[in-house]
């Protein structure tokens, strides 16, 4: 049986981005945040410029200064909070994705570790059972000085042990066990 060291197992089972030091989801979040750092101020600047060039001047000249002042409160009072809400909403979703991804990675790592321990334990149990079976066979071969009842018990113990080993092997290899 070949065993992997923890370092080699991490290289085999982790994605390339995680092997480089950053989990894939964290790297994606950093990229998205970098994009948002530029998009949010740029978008806000465009809204202000378009509003000031177009509707703001018209409202001031045609409707009056009071309405212009109220329109600015409505526009600037709604665009900033709306943009903030949208950014925080997307950031929250990305963080939830990351947490879910991290949790899945932890569950998968735990399952792999348990499978490895189970496989190692199964190998050790089978080897021990084979050793006991071989010892019983050698005792049975040299059991001429034992009473017939003791010889029968020894033979029955070896037969039962051999059947148990076969059933365990079949179970571990997911093969159906034939009852004899």
For residues 176 and 158, give the distance between their C-alpha atoms in angstroms, rounded to a whole number.
22
Whether the model clears a pTM of 0.85, i.e. scores above it, the answer is no
Instruction: Tell me the pLDDT band of 108, cut-offs 50, 70 and 90.
Output: very high
Q: Which two tokens stand for residue 63?
A: 């409707």
In the predicted structure, residue 105 carries a pLDDT above the cut 80: yes
Residues in the chain: 180
Q: Which two tokens stand for residue 41?
A: 């101020």
Could you tell me which of 131, 168, 167, 128 has the C-alpha nearest to residue 139?
Answer: 131
Q: Decide if 18 contacts 102 (C-beta within 8 A).
A: no
For residues 47 and 86, give the distance between their C-alpha atoms in angstroms, rounded to a whole number.
15
The reported pLDDT for the residue numbered 1 is 40
Q: What percent of the chain has pLDDT over 70?
A: 82
HEC string for 117-157: HHHHHHHHHHHHHHHHHHHHHHHHHCCCCCCHHHHHHHHHH
In the predicted structure, residue 54 carries a pLDDT above the cut 60: yes
């Amino acid at each position: 049986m070949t065993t992997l060291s923890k370092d080699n197992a991490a290289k085999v089972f982790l994605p390339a981005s995680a092997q480089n030091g950053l989990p894939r989801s964290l790297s994606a979040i950093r990229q998205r945040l970098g994009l948002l750092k530029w998009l949010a101020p740029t978008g806000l600047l465009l809204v202000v410029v378009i509003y000031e060039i177009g509707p703001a001047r018209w409202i001031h000249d045609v409707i009056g200064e009071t309405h212009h002042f109220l329109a600015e409160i409505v526009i600037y009072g709604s665009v900033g909070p709306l943009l903030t809400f949208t950014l925080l909403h997307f950031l929250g979703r990305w963080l939830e994705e990351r947490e879910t991804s991290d949790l899945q990675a932890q569950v998968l790592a735990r399952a792999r570790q348990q499978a490895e321990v189970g496989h190692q334990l199964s190998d050790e149990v089978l080897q021990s059972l084979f050793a006991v079976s071989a010892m019983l066979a050698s005792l049975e071969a040299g059991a001429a000085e034992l009473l017939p009842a003791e010889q029968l018990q020894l033979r029955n113990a070896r037969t039962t042990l051999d059947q148990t080993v076969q059933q365990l092997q079949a179970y571990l290899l997911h093969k159906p066990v034939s009852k004899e």
